[in-house]
Amino acid sequence: MLTRTPSVVAQVFLLLSIVLVIAIAVIQINQQQILSPGLKYGIVLDAGSSRTTVYVYEWPAEKENNTGVVSQTFKCNVKGPGISSYGSSPGALAKPLDDCLNKVKERIPVHLHKNTSVYLGATAGMRLLRLQNESAANEVLASVQSYFRAQPFEFRGAQIITGPEEGVYGWITANYLMGNFLERNLWRTWVHPFRKETMGALDLGGASTQISFIPEDPEEHLNSTLQVKLYGYNYNVYTHSYQCYGRDEAEKRLLALLLQKSSASANVNNPCYPKNYNTALTMKDFFGSLCTQSLRPANYYPNQHVNFHGTGDPGLCQEMVSLLFNLTACRDREDCPFNGIHQPKVKGNFVAFSGFYYTINALNLSGQFSLDDFNSSMWFFCSQSWAQLQSMLPKFEEIYARSYCFSANFIYYLLVHGYNFSAETWPQIHFQKEVGNSSIAWSLGYMLSLTNMIPAEGKLIQLPLKPSLFAGLLVFLTATALLCLLFLVYLCVVSHQRKNVPRVEHVFIPE
C-alpha cells in the first residue's frame, strides 16, 4: 500500500521538511555574526572660575571591566568668563554656550544625540559663589539646566563638585593618559600594567589648586585618602584642594596686601608687575571676592580706582608672595607643609597641568628641568620691562602677560614651601598640557568615573535570516512535516483496516 503514489509523495515531503528545518536552524546558529554595538559618546562641561570648556568623549559600547576606554574627540572653549560670573544675570549664559554646542552636534552622529549624556561640573568659582550667595549659585545652575533641557542630548545634571573630587578626577586623568591603568599586550587586548607606578597630579586653576598622589604607606593615611576603583583595581589616593590658592584668587589677595601695605591708597607699586606697566583696577576687581573679604579696608568703595605701577622686582615679589602662605600653623610638623593641612611626604613622579603648564611655557621652559633652571628663568623673566615682554612672549595677551611673574613666584612658593618639593625631587615634576590629543584636566577623570555608572551594552548579533523570516519558515516547514506525517498515519490506518475485513465465500449448491 505504501508504494502507491500519494504515500511516496507524503514521505518525500516529510523528509524534505525535516531536512530543511535542521539545515535552516544550523545555518542560522553557525553563520551568525557578532557585531560591536559601536561607540557611545559623553559630553562634559568643565565650568571653571575663569572659563567653561566643553569636552566630547567617546568609548566602545562594550566596556573593559566596567570602565569605558575613553578618548577625547573634541574640545571647545566657551567665549566669555566662567559661569560664576553670571550670578547677577544667569539668563545670559545661553548665548555663549550655543556656539560650542552647535559644533558638538556636528561631531556626534544625529541618531546618537538622544542617547548621549551631558554632565556639567562646576569647580572653585561656583564653590565660592555658593558660599557668598547661595541663591545666585542656584539660579546659575537652574539656568544651565533649563538650557540643556532644550538640547537634543540626555542631560544628566549640573553640579558643583567638591575640591577633593576635582583633585581625584585630575589624578585619574593624568594616570589614564600616561597608560598607568591599562595597556595593550602583544595580542592587542587591554591588560593592567605589571608593576607600573601611578603618578601624582598637580592642578592649578583660577580659584583653587589641588595635589593628589598615592602616599608611600596608604594605610597610615586612610583618614586623608579617597578610594578609587577603576578597571577592577582599588587605589587609595591622598588629595587636598586649597580654596583661594588658584592663580586668579591668589593674585587678588596679593593686590589686596599691596594696597594694605601702601601709604597711598590711589597709587600702589607692584613688584610682580613688569617694569613700566601701569593699570587701573577698581576695588571690586580684587576685594569683591570672598577670598579677600577679610582684607577689605574700612573705607571700601567698590567702584573706587586704584592705580598699580609695575616695578619688576623679583626679590620683593617673592617676599610678598610668601605672605600668602601660613607656614607657622603647622609648627614644624613634617606632615603639615602649610595652612595647618596634613599632607604625607610627596612620592614618585608628578604631572603639573593647567595653570602650572601655561606659566612654565611663558618662561620658555617645558617638560622636566631643574629647580635652578626654573629660578634663573623666573628671575630673568621678572626683570624684563613691559616693552621687552611684548616681544618675548609668542602669544601676547595683557591680562596674562602682566601676571606671569607673579604666577611663577607663586608656583615656586607653592611647590617648594607649600608641598615640600626640594631641589632633588623637583625634576620629578613633568609640566604638561596634554597627552596625544587629550587634555590633562579633571573632566576626563570625571567621564571615566561616570562610565562605571553607565551599563555596558551587549553585543549585537546579525543573523543570515531575519528573525521574522526564520520563524515563518520554521512554522511552514513544521506544519508541512506534521501534515505529511498525519497523512501517512491515515494511509497506514486505512490499509490496516482493509486487511482485517473477513472474506465471504460463496458456496454454490447444485439444484
pLDDT per position as a tens digit, 399-434:
999 999 999 999 999 999 999 999 999 999 999 999
Q: Whose grid coordinates read 566643553? A: 54
Strand partners, 10: none
Range with the poorest average pLDDT among 7-21, 337-351, 397-411: 7-21
State the DSSP H helix or E strand holding residue 461, giving kind and residue range, or none if neither. strand 460-462
* Concatenated DSSP letters of 74-95: EEEEPSSS-GGGGTT-GGGGHH
Name the pLDDT band for 477 (thresholds 50, 70, 90).
confident
* C-alpha dihedral (215, 219, 222, 224), degrees to nearest 10: -20
Confidence at residue 382, expressed as pLDDT on a 0 to 100 scale? 96
Is 207 annotated as contributing to ligand binding?
yes
Distance of CA 393 to the CA centre of its chain: 31
Name the pLDDT band for 358 (thresholds 50, 70, 90).
very high
Name the pLDDT band for 449 (thresholds 50, 70, 90).
confident
Here the cell at position 90 is 544667569
Q: Identify the residue with better confidence: 417 or 482.
A: 417
- Please give the average per-residue pLDDT across 492-503, as a whole number: 69
CA dihedral sign of residues 482, 484, 488, 490 = positive
Tell me if residue 505 is catalytic: no
Distance between CA atoms of residues 146 and 315, nearest Å? 50
Range with the poorest average pLDDT among 81-90, 334-343, 445-454, 461-470: 461-470
Of the candidates 64, 165, 166, 249, the residue annotated as catalytic is 166
Judged by DSSP in three states, 367 sits in: strand
Is 72 annotated as contributing to ligand binding?
no
Confidence at residue 509, expressed as pLDDT on a 0 to 100 scale? 43
Could you list the beta-strand ranges (E) of 146-207. 154-160, 183-184, 190-191, 200-204
Reference 166, options 242, 234, 247, 79; nearest CA is: 242
Judged by DSSP in three states, 509 sits in: coil
- Please give the average per-residue pLDDT across 89-117, as a whole number: 93
pTM more than 0.85: no
Q: Identify the residue with better confidence: 456 or 468.
A: 468
Confidence at residue 193, expressed as pLDDT on a 0 to 100 scale? 72
Confidence at residue 190, expressed as pLDDT on a 0 to 100 scale? 59
Reference 402, options 296, 265, 280, 266; nearest CA is: 280
Here the cell at position 223 is 583618614
User: Could you read off the pLDDT of 301-318 as tens digits, one per residue?
Assistant: 899 999 999 999 999 999
Q: Identify the residue with better confidence: 423 or 64.
A: 423
Question: What proportion of the chain, given as a percentage, has pLDDT over 70?
Answer: 86
Judged by DSSP in three states, 242 sits in: strand
Name the pLDDT band for 102 (thresholds 50, 70, 90).
very high
Whether residue 64 has pLDDT greater than 70: no
Range with the poorest average pLDDT among 21-30, 81-90, 103-112, 249-258: 21-30
Amino acid code (one letter) for 196: K
Reference 259, options 304, 290, 207; nearest CA is: 304
Phi, psi angle pair for 332, to nearest 5°: 65, 20
Reference 454, options 156, 174, 101, 113; nearest CA is: 156
Distance between CA atoms of residues 407 and 182, nearest Å? 35
Is 136 annotated as contributing to ligand binding?
no
Reference 274, options 410, 405, 411; nearest CA is: 405
Exposure string of 197-234, with b = 16+ CB inside 10 Å and e = fewer, is ebbbbbbbbbbbbbbbbbbeebeebeebbeebebbeee
Angle ∠(114,119,122) on CA atoms, nearest 5: 155
Q: How many residues does the chain have?
A: 511
* Concatenated DSSP letters of 259-325: HHH-S-SSEEEETTSPBT-EEEEEHHHHHSSGGGGGG--TT--TT-EEEEEE---HHHHHHHHHTTS
Q: How far are the Cα atoms of 104, 190, 439 from residue 451, in angstroms, in the given order?
A: 20, 17, 18
Name the pLDDT band for 2 (thresholds 50, 70, 90).
very low
Sheet holding 52-60, edge to edge: 71-77, 52-60, 39-47, 117-122, 154-160
